[in-house]
């Protein structure tokens, strides 16, 4: 459950991302919401992150990522196991890298051996 102020912040971030194609900075959020302190913005962002509405990327100036809340077009992540070079087959090296895909693509096209997609 998010507060009206947190909802206002979330809406502001969504509009900014839709308009500009990237997340706002702390100072831009502070200005948009009319807050006096960047600490207030950090507090609101921390609460939204705890509620699972956003994901924050540490040490990034525009390190706010919106988290989709369900629906057919929500994204999920699957592990990227490696790449295959052209030519003779080589063994793929196991990486811990994740790749985002649309939920409906994963649900429809991934074999059930990968387990339940959430």
CATH number of the domain that residue 11 is part of:
1.10.10.10
Same-domain status, 96 and 46? no
Same-domain status, 49 and 90? no
Same-domain status, 17 and 54? yes
Question: Hey, is 116 helix, strand or coil?
Answer: coil
Total number of residues shown for the chain: 118
The span from the CA of 111 to the CA of 49, in Å, is: 32
- Res 2: pLDDT: 84
Residue 88's domain spans which residues?
75-114
- Res 47: pLDDT: 93
DSSP states along 57-100: -TT-TT-EEE---SSTT-EEEEE------SSS--PPPP---EEE
User: 52's torsion region: left (phi>0), alpha (psi -120 to 50) or beta?
Assistant: left
Same-domain status, 14 and 47? yes
If one counts the domains in the chain, the total is 2
Same-domain status, 40 and 90? no
Same-domain status, 30 and 59? yes
Q: What string of pLDDT tens digits covers the 118 residues of the chain?
A: 789 999 999 999 999 999 999 999 999 999 999 999 999 999 999 999 998 899 999 888 999 999 876 555 555 666 666 666 666 666 666 656 666 666 556 566 665 555 554 5
């Amino acid at each position: 459950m998010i507060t009206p102020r947190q909802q206002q912040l979330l809406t502001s971030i969504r509009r900014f991302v839709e308009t500009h194609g990237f997340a706002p900075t702390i100072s831009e959020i502070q200005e948009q919401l009319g807050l006096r302190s960047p600490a207030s913005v950090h507090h609101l962002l921390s609460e939204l992150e705890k509620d699972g509405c956003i994901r924050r990327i540490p040490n990034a100036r525009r390190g706010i990522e919106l988290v989709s809340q369900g629906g057919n077009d929500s994204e999920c992540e699957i592990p990227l196991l490696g790449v295959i070079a052209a030519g003779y087959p080589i063994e793929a090296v196991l990486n811990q890298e994740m790749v985002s895909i649309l939920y409906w693509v994963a649900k429809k096209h991934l074999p059930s051996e990968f387990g339940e997609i959430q």
